[in-house]
Every structure is written in structure tokens, then in C-alpha cells.
Chains A and B, each alone.
Chain A
Amino acid sequence: MVEWGRRAGRSPFFREDLMSETASHAETRGVSFLHPIVEREDLFLPESITEDDRLMLDTAREFMEREVLPRAAELEADKLRVSRELLRRAGELGLLGVEVPEEYGGLGLGFRVGMLLLEEIAREGSYACVQGAHTGIGMLPIVFFGTDEQRRRYLPRLVKGELASAFALTEPDAGSDALSIRCKAVLSPDGTHYVVNGEKQWITNAGFADIFVLSAKVDGEHFTTFILERDTPGVTLGREEDKMGIRGSSTRSLILQDVRIPVANRIGEVGRGHKVALNNLNIGRMKLGFGVLGGCRALLNAALGFAAGRKQFGRPIAEFGMIRKKFAEMAIQTFAAESMCYVAAGLIDERVHAVRARPDHTSAEVLGAIEEFAVETASIKVFASEALDYVVDEALQVHGGYGYMKECPVEKAYRDARIHRVFEGTNEINRLVVAGTLLRRVLTGRLDLGPRATEAEASLETGVLDHAAPAGTGIGPELERLERLKRAGVYVLMKVGQVFADRLREEQEVLEGLADVVMDLEACDAALRRVLWVEGTPGDRGVDLYQDLGRGVLATFGPRVERNLVELLSYTWPAMEPASADRLARHLFRVRSFLEAPPVNRYALRRRIAERLSARGRYLEH
């Protein structure tokens, strides 16, 4: 539940909220980060996990260190056999059934623990894909949308790792445009099964999967999801793809020729399969985000360790300013992505869990609960994968020539990282999802930003932020700056919506700019919530480092928001008021003045962060 004023002296700044204290978790809403920060005690954060979560993390860590990482080369050489062996072992340890209800052999724990485990699993890029695809996009459609009979038939063995699963959506001519698939299913005359023909491409786990969650169109029109067993006659696999990275994961195409799938293996209704597929991707995106976090943390720690031992000019390179700056920037990126993933996953889990906890819930309600957070899941995917690319690039740079050599794990991590900006929807598609979903919700009235926009316009007009910085926190200026950025962001969002409502399809770069604003605001919001949580919670976590990381996030992403807003306004304005260049200049001046923030000493800030990281020898731990 929401709890207010855990510390004396907090101003009403925190009390304005979109969720009343009595709001049930079933009504936890998406896109809450555009509103003023709400302080909550039960935030999901790396710092707030339970002791049991920690034990489970230990199990995942030991599994990785003792059984997966030592076999990384073997996994690449003999992926089909080793993948199966590792999945089976993960199944024994219970790593594969976290979200699966207990009656089907799982632990029935909700998303949070599953996400945490992924961070550990992600330390080996290929295996992360093997287990991620199996437990995520391969298994969850059955968990969430399968019939009781389908669940009984498949889940217990999937949870044990006796069966492996894959998700087959992409086709040669249907990549980003996933709804244009051609794979066709036709009901047999006797109504007992579908006859399916088509070709699927780039299917993770295809080489050893026993079941495929398959998307096809009934009669070539109605998007529908099926469970396809590998042994069914007419199923053939293509050769293994020769990939740049994640070379220990199996990626193949799937050719279906008159394949007969029993009607009982249809998931959900005919014509509703796109909902299953797309929401499956929503969850997949969140999982990808968490997977990426584990990579960021491992790479930052590797860079810290290497730089402490590598001497040049008679000193460890960790002592040099430009290396230290890299540590700080990598930590800021990681902290931002991490905060964003955790805060959003906590909210999603809350809502989905509340729905699933009701015995009479329908799969449509589960879909609705997941869909509510489509903006968050897409933005997590984009933001985290780009943070990883930043971190892996700098980690390699810190390693210098060693980082370019095959024997250095960073070389492999560099190649493995790149796919994350491409799969689970390219980052371009996900940016369209972020901005498009948001604008659609505003334009249809589903998301009421009206009062927020009025407030934003008023404060832009007067330049006054009618909220005092709260007392008792070390990040008052950042909180104020974020609130200013949010208001300007909402203002621009509404303007863009008004002007381009009927031709958004032709304004992709505008949507991209808007998506960047939204993602950066979400990251800043989550990072500051996290700092507030740490400040307000007893315990000796070293609050200084958290405050500096929060400041660093604002100092890094705040200017980016500002630049994008100015660009968006400069483009949008002429459409609102043609031939008024000087009025635009005055308007932009007002917006810029409103966003004017006290200068931040970034050199000193980065040095403080880097010094603390070097002293600890590693990034923050759970």
C-alpha cells in the first residue's frame, strides 16, 4: 500500500498523486511516471528484495558459475546437446517454473523473482537466450492463456526442463510487421484439426525445442496461436544460422507442410492470436530488459577489476581521470536502466498478480493488465538495450587491446550485446510503440492528461513551478528539475498530439523524438524514486552514492529531454502558427527558461561516483 511521510518534513510535493491510498492493486496504472513522483514503501528495487529472493539469486548465481560459464565454449560447439542438458539442470533447481502456478509444477511466484533470476542468467549471452526464450515467450502463452488441459499436458514437463519450448512468429516477409504473417491454418472438414502451411524464420531454440508456440492465420485472415509439437509430420527445420553473437543459442527456420495441429492445441480464440503474440512480446521485452541489466553489471565490474590491476605509466589505469569518467558514466547508465526496469516490473507484477489472484479471472483480463504497461515494457527494452551497448563499448575500451582478443570475455559480450537492439521488436518499432501507444491513449481519452497539461501550460506561461522542493532529501534540486521536465514533456506531447493526430504514420521521426523524451523521463523518475526509497529506509547502504547516481541520471538524461523538446517544438510550431518565426523564438525562450536549472558540476560528480566504485571494487549489489 501507499504510505506517506515516512520521514518528517516532507512537503505536499509528494502527496499529489494519481493513485489514492485506497486504490487497489488491480488498478495500478501505466504511464504513472508522467505524474509527480509518488513515494512508496513497497517499490520493487534491487535494494528492496527479500532474503528469500537473495537465496534464489544465490542458486542462480552458483548455477551460472559452476555449470554454465565453464561450459560457454562447449555450448557454442555443441549447442543442441548442451542447451538441453543445461535446461534440464535448471529445471531440477526450479529455475524454469517461477511464474508457473504450483498446481502445474511451478512456484507460483509472479514476475519479480523471475526477473531477478534473469539478471544472473544473463551473464552468459547464449544461455540467457536459451532459458529466456524457454521460460518467457515459449512458455508464458501457455501459462497465461492456455486451457487447463494444455497446461496439464505441457507445463510440468516444461518446468522440469524435460521439454524445451520456442516461439515462432517471425517470417521471411513478416519481421517488424508481425501482423502480416502468411503462415496459414485451415480447419479440417471434420473439425478436429488445422492443416498448417508456411515458413517461420530466426526461431530461437528451434534446433532442440519440442514444442513451438506458433502464430498463423486461420484461412489466411484470422491471427491465431497454436501449440505445435516438433514431432508432428510435415515439420522440418532449416540449418543453423551463422550469427554474429549469441552463437551458443540455436536459431533456425521452421518449414511447415500440411502440418496437422489438433484443435485442442489452439491457444485462445480464432482471430485473437495477435493479442497473445503481442502481449507475449510485452513480457518478453521486460524480460529482455532485466537480462540486459545483468550484462551491464557484470561488464562494469569486469572493467573495474581490470583497470585496478592493469598498470600503465607506473599506475593502475583505474586512477586515470578518463577511465574514471567511464566508470561513472557506465554506472549512471546502469543505474538508470536498472531503476526503470525494477520500478516498472514492480507495478506490472502488482497489477497482473492482483488479476491472477482472483480465481474467476479470464485470460482477457490478464491481457489487459499486461497491455496497460505497453509503454513501459517497450521503453524498458529500448532504454536497457542501449544502455548495454554503451556499457559494453566502454568496458571493451577500458580493456584496451585485451578487450579485442577472443580470450577476453568482453569481446564475446560485445558481439552478444548487439542483438538486443534488434530482437523482441527492433528499437525503432518499440519507439513507435512507446509514442504511438501514449498518443493513442491520450487522443482516445483513455489516458487523461488534461489537468496535467493545463498545469503544465500555466507553469510554462508564468515560469513558476508551484511546488517547493521537499525538505529532508538530498536530491531536492533534481526532483524539482524532473518535475519541470515532466511538465514541459506533457505540454509538448499534447501539442504534438493535436497537430499530428491524423498523420502520425508519416511522422516517424517525431514519434521517435517523443519516445526518447518519454523514456528519459521514465528513467529519471525511476532513478529518483529509488534514491528517495534508499534515503527513507533504514540501513547502511551508502546513501551518498545513490544520491550522486540520481544526480548523474538527471545530469545525463535531463539535457537530452530538453534538446528533444526544443526540436519537437521547433517542428510542431509552424504547423500551429504558420509564419511566426519570432513568436516561435520567444516561445522557445520561455520553455528554455522554464527548464533552466542550476549548473551541475559534472566533473566533480563523476569523480565522486568513480572513487566510490573503485573503493568498493564493484557496482551496487542486490
Chain B
Amino acid sequence: MDSVVCVKRVPDTETKVQVGPDGRRIQASGVNHVLNPYDEYAVEACLQAREKAGSGEVTVLSLGPAEAAQTIRQALAMGADRGVLLKTDPACDYYMDPLSVAHALAARLKTMRLDLLWFGKLAIDDQSYAVGPAVATLLGLPCVTEVAEFAALPGRATATRVVEGDRVRMEVDLPAVFCASKGLNEPRFASLKGIMSAKKKPLETVDLAQGTARVEVVALELPPARQAGRWIGKGVEAVPELVRRLREEAKVL
């Protein structure tokens, strides 16, 4: 069972993000970067599939700056076998829209042998939910998103999606694309031995030929500060007034 898992380097959720001086991207200084948490579920799914099948390789593919090699190493430390980094050029540091990313990943993926292709369902920085399905489209592969349960059989896999009020179980022919949702598994953390041995695993770096930007970030703003709460009253007597305001002022009812 060979798998490829696509991962992204994203700012740590614990970092207090600030808008940079150009007003179009976040301030780079003082920001910790981590392996996108949804991608961790995807990595774990690949490792479990390999362990269950008893053979196969897990390849980690990432598109990003040179520092993303560290993110790949994190997945290698968890137990993946090899890494490939499509390195972006710091000189053309524009926003790459999801379809451009998908094209770049798909071009490389076409050359790779795989049964499973995993993504996190979204990256926590730009939250587009798009790259996984876009790659599946470009490769002409079946795709299951929001995967909360998974089991691979030779040539086939079952995946359970969580949708509004329901769980949908699907069977797909392999190779196929899967996008991991929270709760799919409990990602292992790297043992210290794993971290040491990750240094010796192959990591190929390819300079990415970037085209021109098709989507431009015009402005980046922090969400407005939360407004202070208001006391409408206490106890049961306050309920009618609360309902009235929710309907007329907040317009949520």
C-alpha cells in the first residue's frame, strides 16, 4: 500500500498573528510554524494503512518555502519514509491560489506510484478546502472529503464522511484521494528516535517553476475586536426583551 500525503507549513494556532507592513500578509517575525493539524491526521492515516498492509511506502509532498523542509521532517519523524519539497522562489513571493497549488502538486503526483493520496481537509491558514478536490479532479481520481473513518482493502477503501446530522459510508476504487477531518485518528507524536532517524531519510527538493499570480491578495485585516456584552436584565423577565433584540438588532432569529 503506497501512499502520498500532501502537507503544508502553517503558522502555529497559538501564535498571535499580526498584519505585516505591506498589509497583505502576516508579519513573519515571531511566528512559529507547524505541520497543518489536519495534515497530521492524514499522515497518521497513511502510516496506519502501511502498517496494516505490512508493506508500502509513505511519501510526504509539500509545496512551500525552503523552511517547509522542516515540516516534511516532522512527518518523517512520525514515521513516513521519504519527502519531496516543491520549493517556491522567495523572489516571487505572491499568494498562490488553490488551483495553482493543485496544478503544481498534480504535475509531480502524475509521476508517482500511489494507492492512497491524502490531504488534510483544509489548511488552517487560508482555509480554502480546495486543494485536495482540485488535485483529484486534475488527476481524474475519485475523491472523498471530510473523512472521519477509514479502512483500506486491496484495491478498494471504505471511508465515512461526517455530514450534517449523518454519517455517510462510501466505498471507492483505489487509487483515490481522501481529505482528513478531525477525529479520524489520534496522530502519534514523533519519538526522539524517530526525530533522529528522520535526518537520514531521503528528502528531495525541486525548484518550483512559478507562473504569474492569478489571484492577488488586496488587503489583510484582523477581525474587528469583539464588542463588550450588555446586560439586558436578569431572570425570566429579561427573556422577551432578549428575544426582541436578537430578532431586531442582531437579526439572528
Contact = CB atoms under 8 A, between A and B. Distances in A.
Contact of A58 (B16, B30, B190, B193): B190
Contacts, number: 50
B91 interface: no
Contact of A51 (B73, B192, B196): B73
20 contacts: A51-B70, A51-B73, A55-B74, A55-B77, A55-B198, A56-B192, A58-B189, A59-B189, A62-B189, A66-B189, A92-B191, A93-B191, A94-B192, A94-B193, A94-B194, A98-B192, A107-B192, A107-B196, A541-B30, A615-B16
A92 B199 CA distance: 19
A616 B29 CA distance: 11
Contacts of A621: 32
B174 interface: no
A92 to B, nearest CB: 7
Q: How many B residues are at the interface, by size bracket?
A: 10 to 19
Interface in B1-51: 16, 28-30, 32
Interface in A96-126: 97-98, 107
The 9 closest A-B pairs by CB, nearest first: A94-B192, A540-B29, A62-B189, A94-B191, A55-B195, A93-B191, A94-B193, A617-B16, A51-B70
Contacts of B32: 621
A445 B189 CA distance: 52
Nearest to B196: A107
B44 to A, nearest CB: 13
B14 to A, nearest CB: 8
A542 interface: yes
A402 interface: no
Contact of B30 (A51, A94, A97, A616): A616
A95 interface: yes
A506 interface: no
A621 B14 CA distance: 12
B195 A56 contact: yes
A543 B32 CA distance: 17
Interface of A: 51-52, 55-56, 58-59, 62-63, 66, 92-95, 97-98, 107, 540-542, 615-617, 621
A610 to B, nearest CB: 16
A290 B195 CA distance: 22
Given A55-B74, A540-B29, 15 more contacts: A51-B70, A55-B195, A55-B198, A59-B190, A59-B191, A93-B189, A93-B191, A94-B193, A94-B194, A107-B193, A540-B30, A542-B29, A542-B30, A616-B30, A617-B16
A52 B16 contact: no
A612 to B, nearest CB: 10
A171 to B, nearest CB: 36
Contacts of A541: 29-30
Interface in B62-91: 70, 73-74, 77
Nearest to A61: B189
Nearest to A67: B189
Contacts of A62: 189
Contacts of B195: 52, 55-56, 59
A507 B24 CA distance: 66
B192 A540 contact: no
B35 to A, nearest CB: 10
Nearest to A539: B29
Contact of B190 (A55, A66, A107, A615): A55
Nearest to B27: A540
A92 B191 CA distance: 7
Interface string B174-204: 0000000000000001111111101100000
Contacts of A92: 191
Max chain A C-beta neighbours (<10 A), residue from B70, B73, B194, B195: B195
Contacts of A59: 189-192, 195
Contact of A55 (B16, B29, B30, B73): B73
A63 B32 CA distance: 19
A45 to B, nearest CB: 17
Contacts of A107: 192-193, 196
Contacts of B28: 540
Contacts of B29: 540-542
